[in-house]
Structure 1
Amino acid sequence: MSDTSLRVVWVYPDLLSTYGDQGNVLVVERRAQQRGLDVQRIDVRSDQQIPTSGDIYLIGGGEDRPQRLASERLVRDGGLERAHDNGAIIFSVCAGYQILGHEFVNDLGERQPGLGLLDVTSGRGEDERCVGDVLADMDERLGLPQLTGFENHQGVTHLGPTARPLARVRLGKGNGTGDGTEGAYNGTVFGTYMHGPVLARNPLIGDLLIKLALDVNALPPVDDRWYEALRGERIASATQPA
């Protein structure tokens, strides 16, 4: 990749794009363009091969059956794993997050292999669904402000020794394990349960993905008034007494 171009791949929008997750690719695309980058956006449907030369790959959430189908096709295709081996940045949400792990429970009640790009294992919780706004403190190594998002899942995701929690919850359930963790990351692979879309609520995460793809420490500033207004409104709403 040249220092003025960025290839952004939106993986399986026909299967994995619930709760406005398509907004994540729009945010990355827009924030890269605001920095003068030439962005090539590639939407890859589930009947198409995953390109291996992308810079940032985004995967959204989905219902149980589409998740099973998406995982089967991604494992069979192998393109996302090869892209990872090439140094690509991967950001995933909810069902996409589970798919990047070692295994998850599918709509048939079976344990289904994932891609193994994150050292996490997901099951299905026996309690009620995790639904509502989430506030969490991002891992200090990432140097990012408080995470705000919306969760709607019954998944329970356990982190293995090589995965770090993306954040630790102040409000909400996150990974659903009771240990206060939310999401996971390792190297250039990130996963979260947060919708919202999460990058619209947390644009600096989008900037982090761009910086990692460009291999730079900083980006030129942009006008964040719209994002900060959204963040402030959602954080205030989440913290108001019921």
Structure 2
Amino acid sequence: MKLERAALDFVCMEEVEEKLDLSRDDRESLERTARAKVKDPGAPLPLRSRLEIRRNPRRKNTYLYDYQFVRRDGKTEEKRVLLERNGKKAPSPDPPPRLGAFSYSDVLLAPIRLLDESTQAFYSYRLLGPDSVFGTDAWILEVVPRAKGVARYLGGRIWLRRDDSSVLRIEWDPATFGHYEEIIARAESYKAMPEVRSVTDFGFEKNGLRFPSSDLTEEAYRDADGKLFVRARTQITYKDYKFFSVETSSTFKK
């Protein structure tokens, strides 16, 4: 199977919608429960990687960015310019706000990190079977990190297009996000079951390369009576891609 990589420059519009509801949180109780599940209860709880949950009031925010991405010779440079905040023009210069719930900066390089030959030794792979996405025939590949609890190595299921093995979709395994014990602690505090989902769609194609079209991460909990409480939800939409150069290389070996 081939993994398209690129020496590429592009810009696009990045729309971010964030919803956060901490109405059920009891911070002290959550921290006590989380500490009871780690090896060193006396150590400070580290920051999250994929999930970056902080103490904020209930809120909804939208952001529009001019996003530039450059990758050459294995080196990556990202630049975001905030254009609008909650529908209003952002002052210049205005630093990008830190989201209250989820980090999504790893979206663009996600397929490379999961499938590139240089990282394959850190994962185990299993072909689950055929499926379809975007009306396209695909194979589902399960990717499981060999190192448990290391946020650097995320896992999940990947939809690969049958004819060229390009990545169509990634459904992330939330248990590999790092510090998932905080999610479990929160579920126990809520007396509910966690239902965390994170999906990245690669719906845009250019010269045989696929790029993200959307990224959704949602932290939700289902009560015993079946009611779903959504604590945090971040939806990112990528559009208006403009490319400066695209070259292909690299192969993913079974």
Structure of larger gyration radius? 2
TM-score of the two chains, using structure 1 as the length reference: 0.27
More helix by share: 1
TM-score of the two chains, using structure 2 as the length reference: 0.27
More strand by share: 2
Higher RCO (CA < 8 A, seq sep 6+): 2
